[in-house]
A and B are shown apart, each in its own frame.
Chain A
Amino acid sequence: MARNIQHELLTTPSPEVRARQRFVLQFKREVERLRRRATALFDDDHTRATTGQSATNEATQAAIDRLYADDLYRTLSALKLSGQHMMWDSINAALVDETERLSGLFRQYAGAKSRLGSLHLDPALDVGDVWRRARIHLQPDGYQADTAADDLRAGALYEEGGALYSRGQSVGTRESKAECAIRFIHEWQPGFRPTKILDMGCSAGASTIPYALVFPDAVVHGVDLFPALLRYAHAKAESLGAAVHFHQANIESTPFPAGSFDLVVSHNAMHEMSRETCAAMFRESYRLLAPGGLCVHQDLPVRSSDLSPLRRADLLYEQWFNGELFWTDYLDRDCDACLDAAGFPPAGPDSDLRKSGLFAQLDGTMTWYFAAARKPPVA
């Protein structure tokens, strides 16, 4: 099941809106190509002298100062920002006419006697000031938007934005992130077959649902902070015949008893949280795992230590102007050390209890970072 699987909650844009979406994909791609070229100009006249220099804050600030003093770089930044807004405008244009249809589908699935999974919302959950203000990827009104008991617009924007982005990058056309993780697990622990699975920070369920479809005998749960994402996830799962139980809860302290799961995963979630939340997620993973269970957290394979000051300066655009609030925090974080701190045994030469590292998607379009560990089985 590829990332861009068709399902009935996806919009059917008019030819005009489809044309806008096709255009904006090409526009964003061209702006990225031009930004790479423009940034490389500084590699020639600036960082050649700094080859081998690590991206200290001081060196990065010097690169930031040079980039943002340059009119060409600033022009391309303005165009990049326009491209992101135009992308959301074109997605929203398709969504406006279908909001009621989507809410109707949610009501239909959530109220069905024969539904496979469930949805547990907690209106009293406080997401905190940062998440009340955040606009990850500049998504209109943010993940936190929640205007009615059948509002799933934030989930629809998330899903449609992700599908469009992936199409632009040609990522996940043959294998979803979850399927990639399942293959990673299979190569690490052949024969491991989970019976109770938790997806932490599951958003609109794109990575949760494949677990239910691949392991139909397993009980699958997903946890996230935002109700409109979870409503969308629930309706999508039911529509695809996937039995998933979605919960609005904080991943730092989930409502499940200790030892409830034999597989705890997350997908592209670590870079959307602070290091404190990430550390707490790993501790919670340890608590929730039964002995012998696996914890597999997947995300982008970018580390500050691998970046030149110039590249790091360029990437900071994402944090400042594309709503990636925890980008620097993630780039500097040692996720494997979070596993140590959470109580997982340290990696050893003969140990199969740790498997952190890089792993490529089947189609070769992307390589992911996995922070993965096994809770020791009872002796």
Chain B
Amino acid sequence: MKPNINDDPLKYIDQRPVFSAAPGVDRLFAVCMALTEQLAVANERHDTLIRVLSSKGLVTPEELEAYMPDATVEAAREAQHAQLIKRVLQILDLEIDERESDAS
């Protein structure tokens, strides 16, 4: 990327700029940050649960460690993981969408 001071300000409006020498590196940054965002969300939820449950005296850390999910819970968790992966890899989906609409 070699921006010029005289570049048209609208030059990058319709296409996402690529800063790295290889476009895949920019995508990787976006993927990593989406992933980190999901980790932050999960951390908050985990923190909320521990605080609410402990304040009511309902659980101990040992009970949380010993918990085993049943089949229904397993399925729900798999669905959550699928959703998480979709969001983390969203930038690739969006690019494919764009290429498809360009091709049509």
Interface string of A14-26 (1 = CB under 8 A from B): 0110011011100
Provide the bound-state CA to CA distance between A21 and B81, in Å. 21
The answer to whether B29 touches A78, judged by C-beta atoms less than 8 angstroms apart, is yes
The answer to whether B19 touches A61, judged by C-beta atoms less than 8 angstroms apart, is no
Contact of A78 among B14, B26, B40 (CB under 8 A): B26
The answer to whether A16 touches B41, judged by C-beta atoms less than 8 angstroms apart, is yes
CB neighbours of B4 from chain A (8 A) = 61, 64
Stretch at the interface among A109-117, A208-216, A314-322: A314-322
**B70 CB, min distance to chain A CBs, angstroms:** 24
CB neighbours of A85 from chain B (8 A) = 30
Contacts A15-B44, A320-B11 given: A74-B20 contact, CB under 8 Å?
Answer: yes
The answer to whether B41 touches A86, judged by C-beta atoms less than 8 angstroms apart, is no
CB neighbours of B29 from chain A (8 A) = 75, 78-79, 82
The answer to whether B33 touches A82, judged by C-beta atoms less than 8 angstroms apart, is yes
Nearest-neighbor residue (CB-CB) of B1 within chain A: A68
Contact of A60 among B5, B12, B25 (CB under 8 A): B5
The answer to whether A130 touches B19, judged by C-beta atoms less than 8 angstroms apart, is no
The answer to whether B33 touches A27, judged by C-beta atoms less than 8 angstroms apart, is yes
Q: Is B9 an interface residue (CB 8 A)?
A: yes
CB neighbours of B44 from chain A (8 A) = 15, 19, 22
> How many A-B residue pairs lie within 8 Å, measured between CB atoms?
87
Q: Is B89 an interface residue (CB 8 A)?
A: no
Q: Is B45 an interface residue (CB 8 A)?
A: yes
Interface string of A307-341 (1 = CB under 8 A from B): 00000000010011101111110000000000000
Nearest-neighbor residue (CB-CB) of B34 within chain A: A86
**A130 CB, min distance to chain B CBs, angstroms:** 7
Provide the bound-state CA to CA distance between A120 and B68, in Å. 61
The answer to whether A319 touches B9, judged by C-beta atoms less than 8 angstroms apart, is yes
The answer to whether A316 touches B40, judged by C-beta atoms less than 8 angstroms apart, is no
Contacts A16-B41, A78-B26 given: A64-B33 contact, CB under 8 Å?
Answer: no
Q: Is A121 an interface residue (CB 8 A)?
A: no
CB neighbours of A79 from chain B (8 A) = 29, 33
Interface string of A104-148 (1 = CB under 8 A from B): 000000000000000000000000001001110000000000000
The answer to whether A65 touches B2, judged by C-beta atoms less than 8 angstroms apart, is yes
Provide the bound-state CA to CA distance between A16 and B41, in Å. 6
The answer to whether A20 touches B40, judged by C-beta atoms less than 8 angstroms apart, is yes
Chain B interface, DSSP helix/strand/loop, else mixed: loop
Interface string of B32-70 (1 = CB under 8 A from A): 011011001100110010000000000000000000000
**A69 CB, min distance to chain B CBs, angstroms:** 8
Interface residues of A in 60-96 (CB under 8 A from B): 60-61, 64-65, 68, 71, 74-75, 77-79, 81-83, 85-86
**A49 CB, min distance to chain B CBs, angstroms:** 20
Q: Is B99 an interface residue (CB 8 A)?
A: no
Nearest-neighbor residue (CB-CB) of B11 within chain A: A320
Provide the bound-state CA to CA distance between A74 and B19, in Å. 5
The answer to whether A23 touches B40, judged by C-beta atoms less than 8 angstroms apart, is yes
Interface string of A40-75 (1 = CB under 8 A from B): 000000000000000001001100110010010011
The answer to whether B19 touches A19, judged by C-beta atoms less than 8 angstroms apart, is no
**A194 CB, min distance to chain B CBs, angstroms:** 35
Nearest-neighbor residue (CB-CB) of A135 within chain B: B13
Provide the bound-state CA to CA distance between A19 and B36, in Å. 12
**A62 CB, min distance to chain B CBs, angstroms:** 10
Contact of B20 among A15, A61, A75, A320 (CB under 8 A): A75
**A132 CB, min distance to chain B CBs, angstroms:** 10
Which of B17, B36, B37 has the most C-beta atoms of chain A within 10 angstroms of its own C-beta? B37
Nearest-neighbor residue (CB-CB) of B39 within chain A: A23
Provide the bound-state CA to CA distance between A71 and B29, in Å. 13
Contacts A75-B20, A75-B29, A325-B10 given: A15-B45 contact, CB under 8 Å?
Answer: yes
Contacts A77-B19, A82-B29, A320-B11 given: A16-B2 contact, CB under 8 Å?
Answer: no
CB neighbours of A82 from chain B (8 A) = 29-30, 33
Q: Which 5 A-B pairs have the closest CB atoms?
A: A23-B40, A19-B44, A74-B19, A325-B9, A19-B41
Residue contacts A-B, CB under 8 angstroms, 11 given: A19-B40, A20-B41, A23-B37, A61-B5, A64-B3, A74-B20, A78-B19, A78-B29, A82-B33, A321-B17, A325-B9
Q: A15-B48, A320-B7 are in contact. List 19 more A-B contacts (CB 8 A).
A: A19-B41, A19-B45, A23-B36, A27-B33, A27-B36, A27-B37, A61-B5, A68-B1, A75-B29, A78-B30, A86-B33, A135-B13, A319-B9, A320-B11, A323-B13, A324-B9, A325-B9, A325-B10, A326-B9
